[in-house]
A and B are shown apart, each in its own frame.
Chain A
Amino acid sequence: MKAELEAFVLNEARLLDERRFAEWLALFAEDGVYWVPTLPGQGSPQEALSLFHEPKPLLAMRVARLQRTDAHVQAPPSRTVHHVSAIETTDDLEVRSALVVAEWRAGEARWFAGRVLHRLRRSAEGLRIVLKRVDLIDSEAPQRAIAVPF
C-alpha cells in the first residue's frame, strides 16, 4: 500500500506542475479541503488566519480562474516544480512528506518549502483527498502574490 500512496501524492504534484488543474481538483473528495495555515502547529482554520483554507467548491473557483486568460497574476503563467520527498505513510491513509516548490514566472524565480500532510479516503473512483495540509517553513512571512497551490 505504501507504493500506492506514494504514487498518489507524486501524481498529484505532477498534475500541478503540468497545470492540469481540473484533474488535480478531481483528486479531492467532495468534502475535501486544501489548507495552508499561517501558524506553526496551528490546530484549526478557526484558530488563526490561513494562506489558503478552501473546501472543494472554493477550490473549484480557484481552478476555474487558473484556466482563464484574464487572471492577471498568471499572465504570463508560472512554471513550477513540486519536489516531493521523505514520504511516510500510515495504514489509515495518512501520507506525510517534505515539499520544495520552485516557481519561475515573469523573469523571476522563488522557492517555498514545507511539510505536507495528506489525509486520504478510498472511494469507488480510487483514492481521494480529504485534507491536504501544507505547513510552510515561512508561513508567517510576507509573501508576494501566490496563484498556483503548493
Chain B
Amino acid sequence: MNIDSLWRENSVHRAAYVDPAVFALEQERIFRRAWLYVGHESEVPRAGDYVLRCLGPEEVLLVRREDGGLSLLHNRCAHRGARIVAEPAGNARQLRCPYHAWTYALDGRLIGVPLADGYAAKPELGLAKVARVESYRGFVFGSHAPQGPALAEFLGGLASAFDNMLDRAPAGTLTRFGGALRLEYRGNWKMFMENAVDLVHPNYVHRSSVEAARGEPGALEADSLTQQGAQMFLANGMRGAQWDDVPLHAFPGGHVYMGGFYKGGVIGAQREDPVFAQYRKQLVERHGEEKTAAVLAVDRFNNLVWPNISVNSRFAAMRVVHALAADRTQVEVLGFRLDGAAPQMHELTLQFINLAASPASLVASDDLELFERCQRGLSAAASDWIDLRRGVLSDRRQADGSTLGAGTSELAIRNQFEAWLRHMR
C-alpha cells in the first residue's frame, strides 16, 4: 500500500478511517512499534501480582517478579496456545496453564512440563516476552518493537503531563484506584484522539448539555458534584473566539495539549475550601511555595500522548484508546489517587470521570454519537478527501521544536497525521 497516496497537502483520504487494510497496517506499524501504556506499578505492588491487559493487538500479563522487577508476558501458553490467565487480576507464585499444566516462573521461564520424559529433548520454551517494557515514574509502557527510542524520548514534550500528576501528590506517588469506565463506539480510533483537541465541536455537539446547565442556574450553588458538572457543561458553551485563547501546543511525535484551559475558572476553578487549603499546605511542605504555585497553575486540558493516551493531570485521570478494528474502538478511563491527599481530593477525580467520560455522560455520549455518524458517513464514496486546513495560518513554530496554534485550529490533527505518516511509511 502506498501510504503517501492517502495524504496530500493538509487533507487525508477517507481510507485512513474505513479501510481494513489500512487498519491492518496500523496494527503492524503503529501498535506493534510505538510505546503503549499497559498499567501502573501500583496495580502490582507485591511479588506474584499480575494484571491482564491489552498491548495493541496482543493480550499481555504485567507481572511483579520475586526480584521486584516487572515482566510483560504474552498470555499464551508456549505449548498449545491456551490463554494462561482469564481473570483480570490476581496473585500467583507461578503461572500454570490449565490445559496440560505447563508451568512458568514469574519471569516467563518454563519450569515444569508433565511427562517430560516423553520428549526427545526437554522443552525449553518460555512464555513469549514483550520486546520492551519500561516505566516512566510508575506508568508502565510496553513496545512490541525490539528497537526504537527509549520511553522518555518517545514521550518527549508530553512527559511533563505525568510529571505534573505526580507533583500534585503530597507523598510524591500515585495509586491507581476506582476500577475503570469503559466506552465503545463503532468508529475509528483516531476520531477519539482528534476530537479531544478539537475546540470547534463543543459549541455545536454539546449544545444540549450547555443549555441544560444554563437552565439550572441554582446548580452552581448546589452540592459539589452538581457544581462540578454544571461548570463542565457550561464551559462547552464558549464561542469560537474564546476558544482561541486556549492555545494548542503540538510536539514532534504527534503529541499535543491544550493550555490555558482554566484561566476563566471555567472548569474545576481553583478550590478555596478547607480541604483544598489543607492539601495545598501539604504540597508546600513538599515543594515549597514557589513550585507549589507552579504545579497547581498548570492548566492544560487533554494532554495527548500519541498514538492513544489522553492525560488530565489536574484531575489525576487518564484515557487509553484501544483500536479493535477500522470501525470499532474502546476507551478505558482510569483514575489515580494522589497519595497523601485527603479522600475528598480523590472524589474530584471520580466525579470528573463520571461526568465527563462515562458512556452515560451528558457530554461524552454526544461525542460517541458523532464518531459513529462520521464513520457511517466516511464509509460512503461520495468524496474521498477530508479537509484539515482550519487554522494553518495561525501555526507558530517555537524554539523548543513545538508548534503553537490557535485553539480552533486543526493543528493538533495535522500533527497527529505527521506522526501517523512517519510510522506508516
Contact = CB atoms under 8 A, between A and B. Distances in A.
Contacts of A64: 211-212, 215-216
B184 interface: yes
Interface in B136-194: 177-186
Interface in A2-43: 36, 38-39
A49 B180 contact: yes
A77 interface: no
Contacts of A60: 216
A124 interface: no
B308 to A, nearest CB: 15
Nearest to B209: A65
Contact of A53 (B215, B225, B366): B225
Contacts of A50: 350, 354, 358
A143 B354 contact: no
Interface stretch (A67-75, A86-94, A115-123): A67-75
Given A71-B208, A73-B369, A49 B362 contact: no
A144 B212 contact: no
A46 B180 CA distance: 13
A119 to B, nearest CB: 18
A126 interface: no
Interface size grouping (class) on chain B: 35 or more
A65 B208 contact: yes
A53 B229 contact: no
Contacts of A141: 182
A140 to B, nearest CB: 7
A40 B392 CA distance: 49
Contacts of A144: 183-186, 359, 368
B25 to A, nearest CB: 25
Interface in A129-150: 140-147
B216 A61 contact: yes
B98 to A, nearest CB: 23
Nearest to A144: B184
A73 B180 CA distance: 23
Contacts of B350: 45-46, 48-50, 53
Interface residues of A, number: 33
Contacts, number: 132
A72 B178 contact: no
Contacts of B364: 145
Contacts of A68: 208, 211-212
Contacts of B223: 55, 57
Nearest to B357: A49
Nearest to A148: B360
A79 interface: no
Given A58-B226, A58-B229, A52 B358 contact: yes
A47 interface: yes
Of B209, B230, B330, B373, most buried by chain A (CB within 10 Å of CB) is: B209
Contacts of B110: none
Given A70-B207, A145-B368, A61 B179 contact: no
A80 to B, nearest CB: 14
A61 B185 contact: no
A62 interface: yes
Contact of A143 (B178, B183, B370): B183
A82 to B, nearest CB: 16
B323 interface: no
Interface in B225-252: 225-226, 229-230, 233
A121 to B, nearest CB: 18
A140 B180 contact: yes
B149 to A, nearest CB: 31
B226 A49 contact: no
A51 interface: yes
Of A45, A49, A65, A147, most buried by chain B (CB within 10 Å of CB) is: A49
Contact of B369 (A38, A49, A61, A72): A72
A62 B184 contact: no
B410 to A, nearest CB: 21
A144 B371 CA distance: 11
A61 B368 contact: no
Given A53-B225, A144-B368, A61 B362 contact: yes
Given A36-B360, A57-B222, 9 more contacts: A51-B181, A57-B223, A64-B211, A65-B209, A70-B211, A72-B366, A72-B370, A145-B365, A146-B359
A-B complex: 10 closest residue pairs judged by Cβ atoms: A142-B182, A145-B365, A142-B184, A64-B212, A145-B368, A146-B360, A71-B208, A143-B359, A65-B212, A73-B369
Interface of A: 36, 38-39, 45-53, 55, 57-58, 60-62, 64-65, 68, 70-73, 140-147
Interface of B: 177-186, 205, 207-209, 211-213, 215-216, 218-219, 222-223, 225-226, 229-230, 233, 330-331, 333, 335, 343, 346-347, 350-351, 353-354, 358-360, 362, 364-366, 368-370, 373
30 contacts: A36-B360, A38-B181, A39-B179, A47-B178, A48-B179, A49-B353, A50-B350, A51-B358, A55-B226, A57-B216, A58-B229, A61-B209, A61-B215, A61-B216, A61-B219, A61-B230, A65-B362, A68-B212, A71-B366, A72-B205, A73-B365, A73-B366, A73-B369, A140-B179, A142-B330, A142-B331, A143-B183, A143-B360, A145-B359, A145-B365
